[in-house]
A and B are shown apart, each in its own frame.
Chain A
Amino acid sequence: MVEGWFTGDGDDFRLLGTRCSACGSVFFPREDTFCRNPGCQGGALAEVPLSRRGRVWSYTDSRYRPPSPYVTEPELPWEPYTLIAVELAAERIVVLGQAVPGITVADLAVGMEVEAVPGVLHEDARTTWTTWRWRPTGVTR
């Protein structure tokens, strides 16, 4: 979907951010132009993989079909999906993402451990748009 936001498969899957060489600030989605730390004169921004696992900061779901540019099949009934905001301890950052299909709000609690896994956002005859998903650790589906 968006270039360079994640990489790898299976256990090697990682979200990709960038880190400022001058002050150590980490950015996700990746910041390739400016370091946004107001106390930093600006350094080179290098790609860095983020922690694979984090803890649930909060979660919700989307019981109504979101408008475009989210892509859905309007002729199909709407299937709600779950959104999880995840706190990554090492980076001290909270990253929002969809849960893997099948995980509902009833399966979640704030503080629960989750991990980033690859997923498919949408596909048509020509293109598959890949994305990241959050999955509670220990869940294998």
Chain B
Amino acid sequence: MTAEVAVLGAGMHPWGKWGRSFVEYGVAAARAALVDAGVDWRDVDAIVGADTVRGGYPGYVAGATFARALGWQGARVTSVYAACASGAQAIGAARAQILAGLADVVLVVGADAAPKGFFRPAGGDRPDDPDWLRFRVLGATNPTYFGLYARRRMAVHGDTPEDFAQVKVKNSAMGALNPNARYRKRVTAQEVAASAVVADPLRLLDICATSDGGAALVLSSLDFARRHGVARPVRISAVSTVSPRYPTTVLDLPDIATDSAAAVEPAGEPFRASIAHAAYEEAGVGPDDLSLAEVYDLSTALELQWYEDLGLCAEGEAAKLLREGATAPGGRIPVNPSGGLSSFGEAVPAQAIAQVCEVTWQLRGQAGERQVAGARVAVTANQGLFGHGSAVVAVR
């Protein structure tokens, strides 16, 4: 078990299509987190920014961009890019600085102004980039990968499109209660079934949209939290940032093929499961200890996959777990009480941080109508393009 760090503050800029710069969203989220923590920006030792590559050149150096916007005050600065796992890696970098004694208080910020429509690779002819290749050679957008996973689940586990739709029904009911969510309308199974097919068998309402948004956290040492008058802070007890193990045998974004298992026998545990496993091991908890989970529901079917990879149920049992209501509010293990990405949309560098904001509010008992009663232990999970795994365990 690794030493813990405290979550002193959490803040967000609401998700949506606001048409402003990612800097504005990040600064709004940062200021909210600082107010929540009761910490003056000038007393922050370090800032870590989760990068966006969509906001032009300053996006590549998000830490400094946010620091300049908040007012230069000399803090240690870090910027990290890990696609969807950027926010978790930013939290990981902040935690490492605190545990190493390099900083007492660290501000973590992620924000994005997403383009409309499909995500696409940067321009130019770049056949050495697998992300460019999958678009150029196959036209394989992110939703087509989600469609492949969904169809595979149907064939192997007997999941149905109706099961997938129930994930949307559940998450939209939660998103309707979340003032930071972009979509605040309950969706019915009939509405999912009536929406256009994007990548068979998935429909528009099975797939999460792109959005603008921002999220921020103020992390500190437990000593600082105590001196600051917070006796029982929410604590982060694990940050998993593992990579896959060769050979990866599940076709994954952005690759055109899996690794071949001809020469090396694959590990028993697939990559997504290893992400959660590493977090559990570091935190000294297991799936049975969880009060709630926030997972990347980039598609409804992918949320079901996470149930199994997080060990909430056995392989192939996810749809059954959903149908039993175990992952709904009031169930044994509510998943995505925030409303999930299906209610927020993707603001890539912000979303892993937003997951930790939600579990912080849940663990403090401040989640309002979305509150999971008596929440004590929470896990967040996601996966970033190019082999970035990420999961965070937070406890109270």
Contacts and interface: CB of A to CB of B under 8 A. Distances in A.
Interface of A: 1-2, 17, 20, 23-29, 36-39, 57-64, 66-72, 81, 83, 85, 90-98, 105, 109-111, 121, 131
Contacts of A36: 246, 259
Q: How large is the interface on B (under 10, 10 to 19, 20 to 34, 35 or more residues)?
A: 35 or more
A98 B152 contact: no
A28 B156 CA distance: 25
Query: Which of A29, A62, A72 has the most chain B CB atoms inside 10 A of its CB?
Result: A62
B388 interface: no
B140 A110 contact: no
A63 B260 CA distance: 30
A37 B266 CA distance: 11
B256 interface: yes
B210 to A, nearest CB: 12
B137 A58 contact: no
A56 B260 CA distance: 16
Nearest to B122: A69
A111 B151 CA distance: 12
B18 interface: no
Contacts of A71: 136
A81 B261 CA distance: 29
A21 to B, nearest CB: 11
Contacts of A23: 263-264
A110 B135 contact: no
B199 A63 contact: yes
B260 A26 contact: yes
A54 B70 CA distance: 57
A29 B256 contact: yes
Interface in B125-170: 125, 127, 132-141, 143-144, 147-152, 155-156
A60 B151 contact: yes
B136 A70 contact: yes
Query: Which of B118, B143, B144 has the most chain A CB atoms inside 10 A of its CB?
Result: B144
Given A23-B263, A96-B256, 16 more contacts: A26-B263, A29-B133, A57-B148, A58-B155, A60-B150, A60-B151, A60-B201, A62-B139, A66-B118, A68-B135, A70-B138, A85-B148, A92-B249, A95-B257, A121-B137, A131-B137
Contacts of B147: 60-61, 83
Contacts of B289: none
A37 B198 CA distance: 36
B262 A61 contact: no
Contacts of B144: 60-62, 83
Interface string B292-313: 0000000000000000000000
B155 A93 contact: no
A122 B197 CA distance: 25
14 contacts: A2-B127, A23-B264, A37-B247, A58-B151, A62-B140, A66-B135, A70-B135, A83-B148, A92-B262, A93-B257, A94-B251, A96-B251, A96-B256, A110-B152
Contacts of A109: 155
Contacts of B264: 23, 25, 37, 39
A69 B127 CA distance: 11
B262 A24 contact: yes
List 6 A-B pairs, minimum CB-CB distance, nearest first: A60-B147, A110-B155, A66-B139, A92-B261, A70-B139, A26-B260
Contacts of A131: 137
Given A60-B144, A93-B261, A95-B257, A85 B251 contact: yes
B228 interface: no
A115 B251 CA distance: 19
B117 A60 contact: no
Interface string B244-257: 00110101000111
B135 A59 contact: no
Contacts of A24: 262-263
A27 B260 contact: yes
A46 to B, nearest CB: 14
Given A25-B264, A85-B148, A111-B155, A94 B136 contact: no
Contacts of A1: 136-137
A79 to B, nearest CB: 11
B385 to A, nearest CB: 16
A128 to B, nearest CB: 15
Contacts of B263: 20, 23-26, 37
B121 interface: yes
B200 A97 contact: no
A91 B202 CA distance: 30
Contacts of A85: 148, 251
B258 interface: yes
B142 to A, nearest CB: 10
